[in-house]
């Protein structure tokens, strides 16, 4: 209906296009001002005419087409042409549109997106910081997939670098095979923290660490055997957390995979005249772009983050021919990705602008930065298990006879953690607080899940949705029902907005708006006690709401319990 109105306005006023009118059209914050409004202030500059007169003229010229366009009435207030739709026709149009995958446009069909997220460092416990990239990245994957994109989920493991030299030194000095086998990643974490304490007193430890990493780079059998062992131990830990979250990946190719591809990269950079030597290292000078140099090889000839990331980009483009490649990492890595993307541009690859860094804010613990080196961390698995236990406690208090309590407790607990992260804009820093994360009141995941369970309960009480031959959409034109229908219409726009901005919080906030509108509808519009005409229409609305909640929760990777 909005499109029809825009087409008609563009037809009447030939000086402006459909696209211009579509961009201009607003939804008034006060429903008394109409369902849509066309502000005429921009047109006043174009036509050198008072916006009040333009709004009046627009109203008068649209009125003869009101019935054709589904308009109930038109008003001009100030410089606005306010449009009130024919509610019955509007509701019918929306409900029919929602039947086709909720009106979501499949703009990504035939296009591939590579998405690099989670990517923990091997031999370090999976902490709350890793949880952010995993939750945000997984939601972005689901959102893009919803629009029809083929998404390649890449877990670019941090499995190479001097830190493994440090870990080998720490293992040789302060641990044993038995201790690592018994305590796994906890033991690796303990000795890593100890190394970083001891190196300040014994600087020679760093020389030993660098020497062990050089042995790794030279394919030393002992060094690689220890490294592979640490990697296997780490993957067991990570898979356990991913299983709790319901997350999986298409590729676990980490940094180590690209080390033998760096020599070809160096040769290409040399050929293109992009490399300079600096204190024995090879760099790309980016001073012209107000950036620090992009380090390609160290003075000992070894690869570095930048060179391995550039090699990874070239490999992914060749392998997947991506439309875009997204990197979901902390905002502190923004400079790194600017350097890497600039290197791709300078190499002459026209598709350099398809590389996107999606930064997120840092996580702190009671105001202190999380750090594996100092041991100031909160483990992801502990958060998820604690959340599940608190959910179980709430179930025991409020609904002890609930079937399959363990499953519901996991769905609610894990859902609470995910929603808490995704509700806020990703770029905002997060000060981790157990009470906030695990709160089940207010704008939370459990509130949304409970709304879904309430809708399902209504449908169960009437024996489920029956075949409806005809619906009187006029039964959904009261203010409260109509607001709920209009909120449903916002789902497609929320998805499109979230994808465009790489911002899952748009969908999370949409869910709160939908749940709030539904709960008001539930309390003020009798459903099962209404006369048959209203009952059938309202049940159809309830059914559509529960479908949208479940679908939207799925985009955040939350499950919806049938009962709570």
Residue 164, exposed/middle/buried by CB under 10 A (0-12, 13-18, 19+)? buried
Instruction: Tell me: do 196 and 245 sit in the same domain.
Output: yes
Overall size of the chain counted in residues:
564
Does 440 fall in a domain? yes
Q: Would residue 280 count as lying in a domain?
A: no
Q: What is the pLDDT of residue 466?
A: 67
CA pair distance 249, 557, nearest whole angstrom: 14
For 553, the 3-state DSSP assignment is: helix
Q: Look at residue 432 and tell me if it is in a domain.
A: yes
Going by the DSSP 8-state scheme, the letter that residue 441 receives in this structure is S
Q: Which residues are catalytic?
A: 124, 127, 130
Give the CATH number for residue 130. 3.40.50.620
User: Could you give phi then psi for residue 321, rounded to 5 degrees?
Assistant: 45, 55
The C-alpha angle 388, 393, 398, rounded to 5 degrees, equals 125
Judged by DSSP in three states, 469 sits in coil
**Residues pairing with 356 in the sheet:** 326
Radius of gyration of the chain (CA): 29
CA atoms in the 13 A half-sphere facing the CB of 457: 10
Q: Which residues pair with 324 in a beta bridge?
A: 113
For residues 234 and 330, membership in a common domain is answered with: yes
pLDDT values of the chain reduced to their tens digit, one per residue, 564 residues = 888 999 999 999 888 899 999 999 999 988 889 999 999 998 988 888 999 999 999 999 999 999 999 999 999 999 999 999 999 999 999 999 998 899 999 999 999 999 999 999 888 888 877 899 999 999 999 999 999 999 999 999 999 988 999 999 999 999 999 999 999 999 998 999 999 999 999 999 999 999 999 899 899 999 999 999 999 999 998 999 999 999 999 999 999 999 899 999 999 999 999 999 999 999 999 999 999 999 999 888 888 899 999 999 999 999 999 999 999 999 999 999 999 999 999 999 999 999 999 999 987 766 666 555 555 567 888 889 988 999 999 999 999 999 999 999 999 999 999 999 999 999 998 776 767 776 767 899 999 999 999 999 999 998 776 666 689 999 999 999 999 999 999 999 999 999 999 999 999 999 999 999 999 999 999 999 999 899 999 999 999 999 999 999 999 999 999 999
State the DSSP H helix or E strand holding residue 430, giving kind and residue range, or none if neither. strand 430-432
The CATH number of whichever domain residue 31 belongs to comes to: 3.30.1360.70
**What's the domain count of the chain?**
3
Output the 3-class SS for 311-335: HHHHHHHHHHCCCEEEEEEEHHHHH
Asked if 519 and 406 sit in the same domain, the reply is yes
Task: Please check whether residues 485 and 444 belong to one and the same domain.
Answer: yes
Which of 32, 67, 85 lies at the terminal end of a domain, its last residue?
A: 85
CB 379 within 8 A of CB 127: yes
Is 310 found in the same domain as 201?
yes
In a shared domain, residues 477 and 395: yes
Contact assessment for residue 384 and residue 413, using Cβ atoms and an 8 Å cutoff? yes
Q: Are residues 120 and 210 in the same domain?
A: yes
CB 4 within 8 A of CB 69: yes
pLDDT at 2: 86
Considering the domain architecture, whether residues 355 and 401 belong to the same structural domain is answered as no
Do 210 and 117 reside in the same domain of the chain?
A: yes
Burial of 289 (0-12, 13-18, 19+ CB in 10 A): exposed
**Quick check: is 309 in a domain?**
yes
| Residues 357, 388 within the same domain | no
- 79 closest CA partner among 96, 59, 94, 101: 59
Q: What 3-state DSSP class applies to 336?
A: helix
- Interhelix angle 479-501/128-146, rounded to 10 degrees, is 110
CATH of the domain at 514: 1.10.730.10
Q: Are 39 and 79 in contact (CB under 8 A)?
A: yes
For 237, the domain range is 112-273+305-369
Q: How far apart are CA 492 and CA 486, in angstroms?
A: 12
| Coil/strand/helix, residue 91 | helix
Query: Is residue 283 assigned to a domain?
Result: no
- Residue 70 domain-assigned (yes or no): yes
The domain boundary residue, chosen from 346, 369, 392: 369
> Does some domain include residue 128?
yes
Q: Residues 12, 62: contact at Cβ < 8 Å?
A: yes
311 token code pair: 């090699």
- Is 374 a member of any domain? no
Q: Which residue has the tokens 């009187």?
A: 472
**pLDDT the model gives residue 383:** 86
Separation between Cα atoms, residue 422 and residue 418, nearest integer Å: 6
Which pTM value belongs to this model?
0.90
**What is the C-alpha to C-alpha distance for residues 555 and 532, in angstroms, rounded to an integer?**
35
Please indicate, yes or no, whether residues 363 and 391 belong to a single structural domain of this protein: no
Are both 498 and 432 inside the same structural domain? Answer: yes
Phi, psi of 92, rounded to the nearest 5 degrees: -60, -45
Q: At which of 85, 102, 127 does a domain end? A: 85
Sheet holding 324-330, edge to edge: 150-154, 112-116, 324-330, 355-360
């Amino acid at each position: 209906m909005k499109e029809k109105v825009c087409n008609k306005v563009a037809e009447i006023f030939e000086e402006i296009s459909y696209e211009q009118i579509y961009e201009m059209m607003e939804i008034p914050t006060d429903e008394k001002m109409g369902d849509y409004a066309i502000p005429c202030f921009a047109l006043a500059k174009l036509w050198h005419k008072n916006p009040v007169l333009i709004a009046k003229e627009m109203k008068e010229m649209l009125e003869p087409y009101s019935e054709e366009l589904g308009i109930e009435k038109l008003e001009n207030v100030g410089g606005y042409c306010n449009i009130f739709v024919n509610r019955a026709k509007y509701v019918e149009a929306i409900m029919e549109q929602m039947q086709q995958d909720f009106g979501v446009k499949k703009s990504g069909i035939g296009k591939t997106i590579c998405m690099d997220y989670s990517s923990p460092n091997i031999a370090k416990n999976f902490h709350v910081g890793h949880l952010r990239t995993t939750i945000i990245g997984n939601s972005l994957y689901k959102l893009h997939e919803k629009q029809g994109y083929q998404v390649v989920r890449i877990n670019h493991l941090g499995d190479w670098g001097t830190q493994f030299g440090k870990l080998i030194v720490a293992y040789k000095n302060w641990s044993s095979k038995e201790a690592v086998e018994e305590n796994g990643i906890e033991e690796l974490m303990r000795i890593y923290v100890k190394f970083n304490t001891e190196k300040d007193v014994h600087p020679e430890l760093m020389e030993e660490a660098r020497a062990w990493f050089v042995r790794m780079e030279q394919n030393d059998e002992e060094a690689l055997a220890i490294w592979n062992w640490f990697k296997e131990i780490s993957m067991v830990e990570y898979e356990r957390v991913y299983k709790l979250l319901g997350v999986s990946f298409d590729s676990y190719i980490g940094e180590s995979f690209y080390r033998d591809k760096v020599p070809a990269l160096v040769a290409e950079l040399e050929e293109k005249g992009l490399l300079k030597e600096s204190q024995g290292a090879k760099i790309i000078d980016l001073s012209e772009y107000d950036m620090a140099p992009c380090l390609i090889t160290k003075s000992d000839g070894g690869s570095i983050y930048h060179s391995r990331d550039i090699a990874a980009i070239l490999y992914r483009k060749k392998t997947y021919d991506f439309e875009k490649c997204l990197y979901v990492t902390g905002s502190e890595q923004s400079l790194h990705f600017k350097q890497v993307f600039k290197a791709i541009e300078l190499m002459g690859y026209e598709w350099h602008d398809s590389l996107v860094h999606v930064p997120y804010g840092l996580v702190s613990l009671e105001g202190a930065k999380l750090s594996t080196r100092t041991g100031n961390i909160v483990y992801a698995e502990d958060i998820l298990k604690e959340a599940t236990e608190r959910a179980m406690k709430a179930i025991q208090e409020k609904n002890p006879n609930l079937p399959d309590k363990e499953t519901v407790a996991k769905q609610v607990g894990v859902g609470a953690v995910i929603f808490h992260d995704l509700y806020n804009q990703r770029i905002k820093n997060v000060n981790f607080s157990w009470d906030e994360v695990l709160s089940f009141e207010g704008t939370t995941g459990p509130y949304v899940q409970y709304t879904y369970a309430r809708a399902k309960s209504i449908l169960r009480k009437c024996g489920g949705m029956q075949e409806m031959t005809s619906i009187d959409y006029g039964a959904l034109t009261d203010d409260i029902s109509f607001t709920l229908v209009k909120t449903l219409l916002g789902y497609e726009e929320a998805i499109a907005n979230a994808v465009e901005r790489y911002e899952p919080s748009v969908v999370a906030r949409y869910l709160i708006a939908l749940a709030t509108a539904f709960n008001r509808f539930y309390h003020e519009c009798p459903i099962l006690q209404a006369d048959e005409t209203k009952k059938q229409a309202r049940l159809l609305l309830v059914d559509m709401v529960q479908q949208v909640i479940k679908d939207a929760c799925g985009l955040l990777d939350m499950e919806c319990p049938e009962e709570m």
